[in-house]
Amino acid sequence: MKLNSNDYTIEATAGGGFFAYYMNNLLCSAYGETPDEAYENLENIVDDFVSEMYMVEEYV
């Protein structure tokens, strides 16, 4: 899933590295050594989250 730049935020952490989080669901967040790595990790987490949501809907 390609994220729109308005959907996420990347911030530098005090200890080095970068923290990215999805604006629509703060439970979806990721860390990376570079902004690009944080973004890629966030994309994977959002993909997993959305996939799990669809799996739950199938069982309901």
Residue 53 in any domain: the answer is yes
Read off the pLDDT band of 59 (50, 70, 90).
low
Query: What is the domain extent for residue 13?
Result: 8-59
Phi–psi pair at 54, nearest 5 degrees:
-65, -35
Cβ neighbors of 15 (< 8 A, separation 6 or more) are none
Residue 2 in any domain: the answer is no
Residue 45 in any domain: the answer is yes
Residue 3 in any domain: the answer is no
- Residue 1: the pLDDT is 63
Q: How many domains does the chain have?
A: 1
Residue 20 in any domain: the answer is yes
Q: Quick one: what percent of the chain has pLDDT higher than 70? A: 90
- Residue 27: the pLDDT is 84
- Residue 5: the pLDDT is 79
First to last CA, the chain: 24
Residue 13 in any domain: the answer is yes
- When pLDDT is averaged across residues 19-31 and rounded to a whole number, the result is 91
